[in-house]
Amino acid sequence: MQKIWIKGGKPLQGSVEISGSKNATLPVMTAALLADSPTTLENVPHLNDIKTMAEVLRRLGAKVILEDHKLHIDPAGFNQFEAPYDLVKTMRASIYSLGVCLARLGKARVSLPGGCAIGARPIDLHLKGVEQLGAKVIIDHGYVNAEASQLKGTTIHLAGPHGPSVGATVNVLLAATAAQGTTVIESAATEPEVEDLVLFLKAMGARIVGAGTSRLVIEGGQKLKGITYSIIPDRVEAGTFMAAAAITSGDVTLTKAAASHLMDVIQIFRKIGIEVETGPGHIRVKGNTRYQPVDVRVAPYPGFPTDMQAQIMSLLAIVPGISVITETIWENRFMHVFELNRMGADIKIEGSNAVVKGVKQLTGAPVMASDLRASAALILAGLVAEGETEIQRIYHLDRGYERIEQKLSALGADIKRVN
């Protein structure tokens, strides 16, 4: 069992390179199976979720090789249609195999997905989407069984109770590439990761209009070819390092970062009083000691991302005054509150709101990570806390952050991974 050890109190200084986006890589990896020739993906992060998805693709019959930060995918042997429980239980994105198997093989058998325990996260919109394309879907013994002799284009509305679904948009996009006729996705997710998938599919030969918008029009039945494609930067990793610079009153430049994907986050940082400079491929964050409280409401893109909610909470925990964070996406995404309070934070949960009363100083303590982004939030708190912090259950970290402790150490943090 590994843990992260931190001795807080050191301002971060220097530059850090942002890795490729995990949440963009996973659907693009799956989409590579739609091609009739091999694909090479560049700027791929070394993460456990990427390894898990690679194994899913191998179980489906594809050949997958990861070397350095390049991923080679040969779909020639893709002839299996089952994504088994032992893989899908660890990573929700495995559900993307539903759309690609229907598109290429006409049937799919996919275990109901797992991932972080941050809420119910149903897949009803995924199933609604493929059913409207003509697939017959049956859930049996924990598996989604879907079959369609010929998918047919139609108009599909994907708005759910908490806004558009990224996963459902991805699955319908993948399936629609093979549908007969034209598919229109209304209320599609507009996240940069979805836009990156659309651009990847178009580069392979798909005919899609509306990249980056809430209305996607797909003309199905095009022959797709393998290509070489570079993955966009990880906006959540970038936001996490922005928070690390701010919470330690440091001065950090993020390279290979896309400021255009983080405009709402940057706006909140500036409201707090943090200096943020942006330019082509970089973001510079200069912290200070004169911060102001803010209210933050999580919302689908281009709003403030739910994947940054825990990190901004750690920062606001030391900002004088009262801030309110409203979580609108996942009902169980406040589990890190109890661990932050163990470190001296003053945070109260009131329904979907977290009321954060800033304290002068956090103190180091043994804490336990509940999910991926909570792990990052506890690291941020440890960077500024007085004394030593030990974070257990850090296996979540390796699902979404590449060498985070090494990157922070290079910026001057006193941090290490220990057994």
Active site residue ranges: 116
Please tell me the distance from the alpha carbon of residue 51 to that of residue 361, in angstroms, as a whole number. Answer: 39
Strand-pair category, 39-42 with 70-74: antiparallel
Residues in the chain: 419
User: Given the DSSP bridges, would you call strands 295-297 and 388-392 parallel, antiparallel or unpaired?
Assistant: unpaired
Distance, C-alpha 345 to centroid of its chain: 26
Distance CA 347, CA 357 (A): 6
What's the CA gap between 326 and 92, in Å, rounded?
A: 24
Q: Please spell the DSSP secondary structure of 78-130, one letter per residue.
A: ----EE-HHHHTT-GGGGGHHHHHHHHHSEEEEEPP---SSS----HHHHHHH
Q: Measured between alpha carbons, how far is 217 from 330 in angstroms, rounded to an integer?
A: 29
